[in-house]
Amino acid sequence: MVAQQNQEQAKIKALVAKIEQHPKDWQAYADLVSMLSITGNYIQAEELGLKSLGLFAKNTEAVAYLNYAIGSNYYNAGSYEQAQKYFQQVDLAPLKHDATMMQAQDWYAQKKYHQALVFALTGTEQDATDTDAFILLGQIWLALGQFSDAKKAFDQALDLDKNSFSANFGRGMLAMSEQVTDNHWLQQAKRIDADKYQAQAQQLDDLLNVMTGGEANDASASK
């Protein structure tokens, strides 16, 4: 943990030095916003990001990457509505898919599952090889109580990566709800990451309650 923190601080110092040496290097600003956000320095990341938008307002590529970095910072800070405002402004081809999936993740975090579904479906159409996109799609279908669609999404994720913890865990939850005796998906998830499995296994009862209708109906209220 300490080693990781030292590495992160070293990266921040290096980016600060890079900006001082090359003040017109917008990429360094965007990278620094991201690093500050990753380390939990949300206010500094916000201030730098907004300032940088002003500095590089005439550079379309810079504006796109800065909007994405600022949106990600707001998302990390839990300011989901603010995050959406910036993700919506990202219209650069190399970032379009990532921005779409962040919007899906953002709506999902707000439990606005129908909105999340629109973006997740778009994301899987944009990139049919994105395992994480299909995992999120499966989780959204699960939250909406659409178990057949959730199963298809998790299966598609497993076709792309059979060693994905989240895909195996999600598929295993569905199998548990169907009372499948040989639940090799959950077994595989446990083999992949026993600690993560143990942490999430404590939530299985709650998740199964959702799957049987305990909370899935809230989706229509958030539509």
Each residue's pLDDT expressed in tens, for the chain with a length of 223 residues: 777 888 889 999 999 999 999 999 999 999 999 999 999 999 999 999 999 999 999 999 999 999 999 999 999 999 999 999 999 999 999 999 999 999 999 999 999 999 999 999 999 999 999 999 999 999 999 999 899 999 999 999 999 999 999 999 999 989 988 878 889 999 999 999 999 998 887 767 766 666 665 544 444 434 3
Phi, psi of 204 (to 5 degrees): -60, -40
- Asked if 41 and 129 sit in the same domain, the reply is no
- Asked if 57 and 132 sit in the same domain, the reply is no
| Residue entry with tokens 């279908």 | 141
- Classify residue 148: in a domain, yes or no: yes
87: domain range?
Answer: 1-91
Residues shown for the chain: 223
Question: What is residue 93's predicted lDDT score, i.e. its pLDDT?
Answer: 96
How many domains does the chain contain in total? 2
pTM of the model: 0.88
Question: What is residue 214's predicted lDDT score, i.e. its pLDDT?
Answer: 55
- Asked if 32 and 129 sit in the same domain, the reply is no
- Classify residue 103: in a domain, yes or no: no
- Classify residue 14: in a domain, yes or no: yes
- Asked if 197 and 150 sit in the same domain, the reply is yes
Question: What is residue 200's predicted lDDT score, i.e. its pLDDT?
Answer: 86
- Asked if 137 and 81 sit in the same domain, the reply is no
Question: What is residue 164's predicted lDDT score, i.e. its pLDDT?
Answer: 98
- Asked if 127 and 217 sit in the same domain, the reply is yes
Query: What sections of the chain are H helices per DSSP?
Result: 2-21, 26-38, 42-55, 60-76, 80-87, 93-109, 113-126, 131-143, 147-160, 165-177, 184-192, 194-201, 204-211, 218-221
CATH of the domain at 193: 1.25.40.10
Contact 66, 56 (CB under 8 A): yes
